[in-house]
Structure 1
Amino acid sequence: MKPTTLEEAVALTQKFTSRPSNEELLRLYGLYKQATEGDNEGERPGGFDFKAAAKYNAWLILKGKSKEQATLDYLDLVEELSNKYM
């Protein structure tokens, strides 16, 4: 099932019957943030907050991707993951 909006895609991820891999979750996170906020302009997390650093990096690597393209990529990824985890 292919979602047509960001909201539908987010709702679909809530219906997964098993948890995607950390790599897949980070891809979802980065694409969602790029689609909704644009380029990551925040400060890099410091210290030993590895989870926050991974999320920061997942978003940062998408710098320059348009919100529209990030949205399309997010929808495609959710469709792919829904076939795998539902």
Structure 2
Amino acid sequence: MSATTIEEAVALTKKFTSKPSNEELLKIYALYKQATIGDNQEERPGGFDFVAAAKYNAWLKESGKEKAKASEEYISLVNSLSSKYM
């Protein structure tokens, strides 16, 4: 099964039977946020919230990417990971 829309890709991630690596999860998160919200305008999280900081930085790396392009990349990434984690 492969996704063709961002909604289908989100649903597909919920069917993963094992957890992707932290690097893969951050990429999924960043592309999803860029595709659905756009550039990161949030305040940088505090220094000791390492998970929030990693997510913030991953999303920040996608800044300037158009929502449509981020959406394409998100769907493609989820589809490729689905063969590995389903």
TM-score, normalised via structure 1 length: 0.97
Alpha-carbon offset, residue 46 of structure 1:
1.2
Q: Give, as a single letter, the amino acid of the residue that structure 2 aligns with 1:19.
A: K
Unaligned 5+ segments in structure 1 are: none
Match of 1:3 in 2: 3
Q: Is residue 2:31 matched to residue 1:31? A: yes
C-alpha separation between the residues in 1 aligned to 2:63 and 2:17? 31
Secondary structure (helix, strand or coil) at the match of 1:73 reads helix
* Residues 4-23 of structure 1 aligned to structure 2 (within 5 Å): 4-23=4-23
How many corresponding residue pairs?
A: 86
Q: Which runs of 4+ in 1 moved over 4 A?
A: none
* Residues 66-81 of structure 1 aligned to structure 2 (within 5 Å): 66-81=66-81
* Identity percentage of aligned residues: 70
Over the residues paired in the alignment, what is the CA RMSD in angstroms?
0.6
Alpha-carbon offset, residue 27 of structure 1:
0.2
Q: Give, as a single letter, the amino acid of the residue that structure 2 aligns with 1:84.
A: K
Match of 1:61 in 2: 61
Whether the 8 Å CA contact 2:12–2:82 is kept in 1: the answer is yes
Unaligned 5+ segments in structure 2 are: none
C-alpha separation between the residues in 2 aligned to 1:47 and 1:20? 25
Alpha-carbon offset, residue 2 of structure 1:
2.3
Match of 2:43 in 1: 43
